[in-house]
Amino acid sequence: MPMSTPPIVSIVTPVHNGGLFLQECIESVLQQSYGAFECIIVDNASTDETRAIAESYAAKDGRIRVLSKPAKLSMVDNWNHAMEQVSDSSRYCKVLHADDLLYPQCLEKMVGLAERNSGIGIVGSLRLRGDRVECDGLPRDREVFSGREVARLFIRQEVFGFAPTACLIRSDLVRARRPFYPARYLHTDLAAYFDLLDQVDFGFIHEVLFFSREHAGSITTTVAEVRQTLIREWLFLLQDYGLRYFTRAELDELEEKHLRRWYRLLVRGAITGRGRDYLNFHLAGLREARRTPDARSLGRAMAAELADAILHPEKIYRHLQPVSRSASGRNPLKPGNIAFAFPQQPDSNGKA
C-alpha cells in the first residue's frame, strides 16, 4: 500500500479465559500484510493460560501489549477498559476477540479504503461465521455508503450490512466516547454503532476478511442464542436510536412489526417448553418497555403460530431442538488438531 507513513491500527482484544483460541488469534494478527499496528490484549482476571500465552508473544514482539486486571470486570466494563487503551497515535481501531481471526490482508484492505475516503468512519467486510458467509447484500458496485443508509437497511432487516466486531473504526471516534459501549445492552457493540452511523460514512469491502468462530463457550452460544436476547433488546435499540434514522411514523411501524414478532416468540416459548426463566426474561423486557401484550395481542400471536405450524411443521421440530455448537470451536472447514491454520477463505461470492 503506497503510504509514506502508514497509519497505526490499534487491535484491541478484551479476553477472559480465552486460552483455548488466543494463540491462533494472535498468530492471525502477526500474519497481517499490514505491519503498522499495536496489539493490545486486556486480560480480565483469567484463571487459565490466557495471560501466559499473551505475555509470551509480547516478549517476542514489541507491538504487542498485555494488560491484566486482578479482579474480574463485567464483560461490557472490560470491553470499555480495553477501548480506553487505544494509543493517541493510532488512526484506526480494530476489535478482535480472542476466539476470532483476521485474514492476512484484512488490515491492509480496510485501512486502504478508509485512507482513500476521508469521510469514512467505519469499514466493514464480509465475514465467515462458522461455515456461513455473512454481511452480504450491499450493492457490489459501491464501496462507500452513508452510515445512515446502512443503518436504515440494517434496522429494517433488509440487509445485515455489518457485524460490529468485524469492522475497523476510526480511533478518534473511539477516543471521543467514554465509555465506548453502553452498559445497558448485551449487544452493546450494535448500540455503539447505531450511535455513530448517523455521523460518518461507511466503507465496505466485498471480500471475506474476518472469521468469527462458533463454539460452545461463547457468550453468543451460552446466553444470546439460548435466551434470544436480541429480540428483547431490539425494541430498546429502536427506542434509543430509531429517530435518528426514521420518521416517527416509520419508527412506529417498525416497533409494531417487532412487537408482533416478540409476542409470537412468547407464545412459541410457552408451546415448546422453553421454561419459566426464559418467559420471565422476555416478560420483564416487555414490562420495562411498557409493551406488555393484552389478551387480544396474544390471541393473534397464538393464531399466527398455529397457522405457521400447520403450513410448516418442520419449524416446530427445529424450535424443539436444543441450541448446540461444536465444543472445540474448530472451524468445520478445516478439521484437525493442528497448532494454527486459517479457515479456508471464501471468494467474494462466498465459495470456498
pLDDT in tens, 318-348: 555 554 444 444 443 232 232 345 566 676 5
| Mean per-residue pLDDT, 87-106 | 96
> What's the pLDDT at 330?
41
pLDDT band at 199 (very low <50, low <70, confident <90, very high): very high
- Dihedral sign from CA coordinates of 65, 69, 72, 78: negative
**Residue 342 DSSP one-character state:** P
Residues 17-69 pLDDT 10s: 999 999 999 999 999 999 999 999 999 999 999 999 999 999 999 999 999 98
Q: Are 166 and 232 in contact (CB under 8 A)?
A: no
Asked whether the predicted pLDDT for residue 142 surpasses 80, the reply is: yes
Least confident window among 195-204, 220-229, 289-298:
220-229
pLDDT confidence of residue 182: 96
Determine which of 222-231, 280-289, 307-316 has the lowest per-residue pLDDT on average.
307-316
CA distance 122 to 284: 34
pTM for the whole structure: 0.86
Amino acid 312: pLDDT: 73
Residue 145 CA to its chain's centroid (Å): 20
Residues of the chain with pLDDT > 70: what percent? 86
According to the model, what pLDDT value does residue 272 have? 84
In the chain, what are the helix, strand and coil shares in percent, each to the nearest 5? 45, 20, 40
ω into residue 182 within 30 of 0, thus cis?
no
CB 100 within 8 A of CB 212: yes
